[in-house]
Homo-oligomer: A and B are copies of this chain.
Amino acid sequence: MALTRRQFLQTTTAAGGYSAGFLMMQSLGLAGAAKSEASMIDAPSAIGKGTKVIILGGGVAGLSSAYELGKLGYNCTLLEVRDRPGGRNWSVRRGTKIELNDHPLQTCEWDEGHYQNFGPARLPSIHGTILSYCRELGVELEVEVNSSRSSFLQNDNANGGKPVVQRQAINDTRGHISELLEKCLDKRALDQEMSRDDIDRIKTMLRAYGPLDNAGKYVGSTRSGYTVTPGAGDRVGEMVKPIELSTLMDGAFWNSMLFEETFDMQATMFQPKGGMDRIPYAFAAKLGNVIQYNSEVKEIRKTAKGARVVYMQNGVEKTVDADYCFVGMPLTILKTTANDFSDPYKTIFANSGNSGLYKVAWESRRFWEQDYNLYGGISFLSQGPSPVWYPSGGMFTERGIIVGGYSSGSNTPFDALSLEEKFAASRASIERLHPGHSKELEKSLYVGWNHVPHNLTSMSRVSFDSPQAFSRGGGRQSGGGQGAGAGEGESRATNPAYEQLITPDGPLYIIGDHAAHIGTWQEGAALSAHRAVKLLNERVKAAKLTGSQAGMTV
């Protein structure tokens, strides 16, 4: 270091305060640059007094609607068909019964303390609204390890079918790419387009990026790991040999390598301790008897006053009238529910599809931790049920729950398999990655959302067109896939059916992740609720100003 102490001080602090550089940065408003704010509702606290809202569906959209409306003084009733809150936010644990259409009844017999989130299972740190709810409701969170360099990629058409540890696939790919570019720069392939100086700067960078050796070659890297790890005394580490570039190109081996870079999948991520359903249960504890369980919606009607809902509760038909109705039921269920929605909405319901993400989960000794030093993270296979997802909860305990397969099942050969055949396929995936260990897998459970009563889909499709070509849409919830595209938001932006769906139909407001640009995420569900509450507030405020009744005033 050639800097004097004085020079050093000058570069890091300025006498009496912060340097001009910092003040400039502040003036640029950088402080908030990284902030992804929770969606806050700004309204007079008693604005809802005297207005009745009925909410249909106790998923995250319905629960957060009821919670926010309650804060504002609205009189709410929430109807939920099941005996639990949460909807697709469903944590299965000992004693849970899994009733699926077209499948035998399954009962969870896992040890106490074990669970699987068969619906949403991660909370990205950039989803500020749902994280704020966890804070506000006291839901304890822990890190969800969405990516581990010790997890695997496997493809029957690459590397002789042998799994490759992700640290090697990722780092060797970067190394080879860097070497190829270096070679091209040496051949002066870009001399017409870039200055020699810029080219030199890139070459300097590639030395570290690859990393490349002094001759510009990628000869491997300790980033890719060791065949013998460094130890004590005379145990020198032996670096793993790089995988050939041609092998890395086989069978689109790279296909899942960048999953971790998908915006919503990037570290840092979280999960509630003990199960994702801690969130809906925390809402439910606040809402008390606002929630009516075991209440199946039979009719959704527009009335002169506002809205009327007919429902069956424990075999008894009941009716509730309200000024407004927030409809958070899956569109696939609205399709077969008698309703007064206008025709364009009915067309959307009719085409709402049956996308069916599934998961298979097993109880097992944690061989992935104890025998592979693999804690959390996801391994991807290019055939059969994929990915294999290692649990972030209960690490270092003896046994845990491992997922063998998490992707879209509807209209696939997998979906047509019997339950036992599905389990055999899942077991085979885990065996491909962890030979000899699939025999340790026990007590498998399967949930495919296209078979779940009262859902019939994992994601409600929003389209005026028939669902023939529909598989998963832009849903980014699944473990697999690239996530490289522009995301669902962009495609919805030019979707007239979506524009229709987010427009209130008289007293009826559609809420749910399907009414947000972050579909399948709880954040989208909560944001759709906040938006509906805000729209309602404006309407109620306007109605009060004009002295008109709430209800069909628009």
Contacts and interface: CB of A to CB of B under 8 A. Distances in A.
Contacts of A183: 189-190, 193
Contacts of A171: 261
Interface in A138-188: 141-143, 145, 147-150, 152, 156, 160-163, 165, 167, 170-171, 173, 177-178, 180-181, 183-185, 187
Contacts of A156: 11, 21
A30 B163 contact: yes
Interface stretch (A76-84, A93-101, A320-328, A522-530): A522-530
Given A30-B435, A249-B205, A383-B12, A148 B162 contact: no
A11 B162 contact: no
A305 to B, nearest CB: 26
Nearest to A28: B162
Contact of A208 (B1, B25, B237, B484): B484
A134 interface: yes
A150 B435 contact: no
A349 to B, nearest CB: 19
Contacts of A209: 173, 177, 254, 257-258
Interface residues of A, number: 156
Contacts of A436: 26, 31
A292 to B, nearest CB: 25
B258 A141 contact: no
Contacts of A417: 5, 8-9
Interface stretch (A221-229, A339-347, A460-468): A221-229
A131 interface: yes
A453 interface: no
A318 interface: no
A263 B222 contact: yes
Contacts of A163: 30, 33
A226 B9 contact: no
A195 to B, nearest CB: 10
A435 B421 CA distance: 58
Nearest to A11: B383
A371 B30 CA distance: 12
B148 A516 contact: no
A483 interface: yes
B374 A518 contact: no
A44 interface: no
A231 interface: yes
A241 B145 CA distance: 28
Contacts of A193: 183
B167 A435 contact: no
A10 to B, nearest CB: 11
B236 A8 contact: no
A70 B57 CA distance: 62
A294 interface: no
Nearest to A187: B189
Contacts of A254: 205, 208-209
Interface stretch (A283-291, A296-304, A485-493): A485-493
A377 interface: yes
A374 B28 contact: no
A173 B261 CA distance: 13
Interface string A401-431: 0000000000111101100010011011101
A36 interface: yes
A226 B438 CA distance: 42
A385 interface: yes
A222 B484 CA distance: 7
A247 to B, nearest CB: 11
A21 B7 CA distance: 65
Contact of A141 (B177, B385, B395): B395
Contact of A517 (B232, B372, B392): B232
Given A249-B201, A374-B125, A34 B484 contact: no
A236 B437 contact: no
B484 A515 contact: no
A222 to B, nearest CB: 5
A239 interface: yes
A544 interface: no
Interface string A5-38: 1011101110000110110111010111111100
Interface string A352-382: 0000000000000000000111111100000
A142 to B, nearest CB: 7
Nearest to A167: B266
A190 to B, nearest CB: 7
A189 B190 CA distance: 9
B517 A236 contact: yes
A268 B232 contact: no
Counting from the closest, the 8 A-B pairs by CB-CB distance are A184-B184, A230-B517, A8-B413, A232-B527, A230-B489, A12-B384, A189-B189, A149-B266
Given A189-B189, A209-B254, A236-B492, 15 more contacts: A13-B425, A18-B428, A22-B432, A31-B437, A148-B268, A184-B187, A204-B252, A210-B484, A221-B484, A230-B517, A231-B531, A232-B515, A233-B515, A235-B531, A237-B517
